[in-house]
């Protein structure tokens, strides 16, 4: 009786669809009607998607993507540079006013429309499809250099399994130590000469570094194996890659606070200098850190949330993930400053014993805290924090190989969990958009990783570290800011904040605070436009520079990018943003040529609120001739593909 009732419901649904003009498919194209029928009407059923096996997997995936290497080295560096506790207060303020509302917007859009970034913005309007493609391009740029950093972590992890760490002492040359190492430090020498074998400038290319090339290959293989089944395989990996870093951070915190000098480092971390709030560039750095910490604009947040059931409480998820991200940044900063305080105290004590820095003691007033601050300012920047300063501090630990292996295993997992989300920001929207890619997911994933490795070889040259810095500083920042501005404007003004909130009320079965309407319409756009203006102003007023290693001087120096590098830098920004105007112009041309329907009144199709989660096969109505078979409409469709006992794809069928 239940089957007959469901079969009658489906027949009623089909008769209603035949009696009125149905909406176009998401790609804006029609299937041709069969000749002789005299009809062009279609029946369209949404594509059923894979889903997370549990809410825990989804939560770990979102946390793993947002909590990355930047939480361990960029946030502590910014705290040190910009007033310690004052910067943390500013960061929290911007997180609440800008970060959480924009993060919630992406979570809600992906969960409501059930598509990747391309499908989400095309759903709102075909003219906005370029926003999704720009997100994919930026994700690809980031994946190229981010996996190189993971390769460096693999190299250091392998080098940690030695009784005496190879960066503890300088190597000998003849009757003395190597001149370059003696003039710098063992950790700097190992990083610049043994790991990178770096050139003196970006103009000197040099040959490939075979060891780092092998580590990069290993990193891409790990990513490919973890993602070959999409979220079904990625979700399982997240149980380890997202949780293990917290275990390591807690171990380091417990060990760090017991070290001599740790309290001085922590005091310096929380010592507030509120005068830094008057500096526009400090606001820019805090907003940029919020921006990247939550992964806004990448499309990865949208991709992960699109696999959720529609009634998932994404509003609560926005606060939970943002809170975990903030707490992780503070925890990592505590660990870093405790360990660096110990490093500063140890180095200062040795210097005093040798009496060669006694003059500095007089200059700094002789206090241990000021002396610690003096040393904490050395080498604490970007990769230098992880691969030089923190690495040097671990050589002073008893059982240093164990702590070193633990630290770089943590970096490896932090990098991989973020890399999985970055790749999801590429693979999910493209497989949602193109049926051929959707039907060959494993091949597409493997080919994407192979292409990423081949292009990534440019970073394994001896000058590769300079290209990593270029991509990190310029290939993502400006394009992502522009993408997020367009995203916010599209939802708040094109689609309409009131309509979007009403959609979310129906989807979540609870009202959403109306304050988000004003956040999305006014606060967030103004903040993002201010961030864009400050970033452009900095680029215009200051010629872009990079940190180079001078082999003869055995020290770092700031060098301006040459003309050809500035051209590459500009090209990266343009290429990442170019899909937005191209998508808009392409949609206008199709509309003028009559190949694409004009947008509906008031804008655009309302976001879907009916659930299209995977449907078990045993709930489908049987055909009239064979109770064990599927419905005739499903049998006629040649695009149906079954996976794990669920419908994966159901394209429109002409009636």
Residues at the binding site for Na(+) are: 64, 67, 71, 325, 414
SS3 label, residue 398: coil
In the structure encoding, which two tokens stand for residue 458, read together? 């440019």
Q: What are phi and psi of 375, to 5 degrees?
A: -80, -30
Within 10 A of 17 (CB to CB), how many other CB atoms are there? Answer: 16
Name the token pair of 539.
């680029």
Length of the chain: 655
Q: Are 127 and 399 in contact (CB under 8 A)?
A: no
Listed residue (252, 518, 511, 298) closest to 421, CA to CA = 298
For residue 625, which phi and psi values (nearest 5 degrees)? -85, -25
By C-alpha distance, which of 306, 317, 294 is closest to 123?
306
CA nearest to 230, candidates 421, 473, 358, 387: 421
Measured CA to CA, the distance from residue 377 to residue 389 in angstroms comes to 10
Q: In this structure, how many other beta carbons lie within 10 angstroms of the beta carbon of residue 602?
A: 10
Of residues 75, 17, 71, the one with CA closest to residue 43: 17
- Angle at which helix 85-94 crosses helix 262-270, to 10 degrees, equals 50
The rounded distance, in Å, linking the Cα atoms of 633 and 591 is 32
Helices assigned H by DSSP within 459-523 = 464-470, 477-489, 497-508, 515-518
Q: How far apart are CA 315 and CA 313, in angstroms?
A: 5
Euclidean distance between CA atoms 332 and 250, whole angstroms: 9
Distance CA 176, CA 108 (A): 63
Q: In Å, how far are 79, 280, 612 from 473, measured between CA atoms?
A: 19, 19, 40
Among 352, 358, 343, CA closest to 265? 343
Measured in whole angstroms, how far is the alpha carbon of residue 215 from the centre of its chain? 21
Asked whether 152 and 415 are in contact (CB, 8 A), the reply is no
The 3-state secondary structure of 172-187 reads EECCEECHHHHHCCHH
177 conformational bin, left if phi > 0, alpha if psi -120 to 50, beta if neither: beta
Q: Which residues contact 493 (CB under 8 A, 6 or more apart)?
A: 521
Angle at 456 between CA 451 and CA 459, to 5 degrees: 170
Choose among 319, 346, 332: nearest CA to 261: 346
- Pair 442, 228: CB distance under 8 Å: yes
Pairing of strands 172-173, 646-649: unpaired
Q: 646 is written with which tokens?
A: 């669920």
Q: How many CA atoms lie within 13 A of 212 on its CB side?
A: 28
Q: How far apart are the C-alpha atoms of 498 and 632, rounded to whole Å?
A: 41
Residues paired with 208 in a beta bridge: 461
Task: Report the sign of the C-alpha dihedral through residues 588, 594, 595, 599, in that order.
Answer: positive
């Amino acid at each position: 009786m239940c089957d007959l009732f469901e079969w009658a419901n489906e027949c009623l649904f089909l008769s209603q669809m035949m009696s009125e003009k149905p909406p176009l498919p998401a790609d804006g194209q029609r299937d041709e009607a069969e000749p002789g029928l005299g009809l062009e009407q279609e029946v369209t059923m949404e594509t059923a998607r894979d889903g997370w096996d549990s809410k825990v997997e989804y939560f770990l995936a979102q946390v793993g993507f947002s909590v990355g290497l930047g939480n361990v080295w960029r946030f502590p560096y910014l705290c040190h540079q910009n007033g310690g506790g004052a910067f943390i207060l500013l960061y929290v303020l911007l997180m609440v006013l800008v970060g959480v509302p924009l993060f919630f917007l992406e979570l809600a859009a992906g969960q409501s429309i059930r598509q990747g970034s391309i499908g989400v913005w095309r759903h709102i309007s075909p003219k906005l499809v370029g926003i999704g493609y720009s997100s994919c391009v930026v994700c690809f740029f980031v994946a190229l250099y981010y996996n190189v950093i993971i390769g460096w972590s693999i190299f250091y992890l392998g080098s940690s399994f030695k009784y005496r760490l190879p960066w503890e002492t300088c190597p000998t040359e003849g009757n003395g130590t190597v001149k370059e190492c003696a003039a710098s430090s063992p950790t700097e020498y190992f990083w610049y000469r043994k790991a990178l074998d770096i050139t003196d400038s970006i103009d000197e290319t040099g040959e490939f570094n075979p060891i780092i090339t092998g580590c990069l290959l290993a990193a891409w293989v790990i990513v490919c194996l973890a993602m070959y089944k999409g979220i079904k395989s990625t979700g399982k990996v997240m149980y380890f890659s997202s949780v293990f870093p917290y275990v390591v951070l807690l171990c380091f915190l417990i060990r760090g606070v017991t070290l001599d000098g740790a309290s001085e480092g922590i005091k310096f971390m929380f010592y507030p200098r509120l005068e830094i709030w008057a500096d526009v560039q400090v606001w820019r750095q805090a907003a940029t850190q919020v921006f990247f910490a939550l992964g806004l604009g990448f499309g990865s947040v949208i991709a992960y949330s699109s696999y959720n059931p529609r009634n998932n409480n994404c509003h609560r998820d926005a606060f939970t993930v943002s809170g975990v991200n903030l707490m992780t940044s503070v925890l990592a900063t505590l660990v870093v400053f405790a360990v660096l305080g110990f490093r500063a105290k140890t180095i200062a004590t040795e210097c005093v014993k040798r009496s060669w820095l006694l003059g500095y003691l007089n200059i700094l007033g002789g206090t241990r805290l000021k002396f610690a601050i003096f040393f904490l300012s050395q080498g604490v920047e970007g990769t230098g924090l992880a691969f030089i300063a923190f690495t040097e501090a671990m050589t002073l630990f008893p059982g240093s190989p164990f702590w070193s292996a633990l630290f770089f295993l943590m970096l490896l997992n932090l990098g991989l969990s973020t890399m999985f989300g970055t790749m999801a920001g590429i693979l999910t929207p493209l497989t949602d958009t193109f049926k051929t890619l959707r039907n060959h997911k494993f091949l597409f994933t493997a080919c994407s990783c192979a292409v990423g490795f081949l292009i990534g070889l440019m970073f394994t040259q001896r000058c590769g570290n300079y290209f990593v810095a270029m991509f990190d500083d310029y290939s993502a920042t400006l394009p992502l800011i522009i993408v997020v501005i367009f995203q916010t404007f599209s939802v708040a003004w094109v689609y309409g904040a009131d309509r979007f909130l009403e959609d979310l009320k129906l989807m979540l079965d609870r009202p959403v605070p109306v304050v988000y309407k004003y956040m999305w319409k006014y606060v967030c756009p103004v903040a993002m436009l201010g961030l864009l203006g400050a970033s452009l102003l900095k680029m215009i007023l200051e010629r872009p520079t990079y940190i180079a290693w001078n082999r003869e001087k055995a020290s770092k120096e700031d060098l301006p990018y040459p003309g050809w590098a500035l051209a590459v830098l500009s090209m990266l920004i343009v290429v990442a943003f170019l899909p937005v105007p191209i998508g808009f112009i392409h949609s206008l041309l199709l509309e003028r040529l009559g190949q694409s329907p004009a947008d509906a009144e008031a804008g655009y199709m309302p976001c879907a609120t009916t659930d299209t989660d995977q449907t078990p096969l045993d709930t489908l109505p049987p055909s009239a001739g064979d109770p064990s078979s599927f419905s005739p409409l499903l049998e006629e469709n040649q695009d149906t593909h079954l996976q794990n006992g669920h419908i994966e794809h159901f394209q429109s069928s002409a009636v």
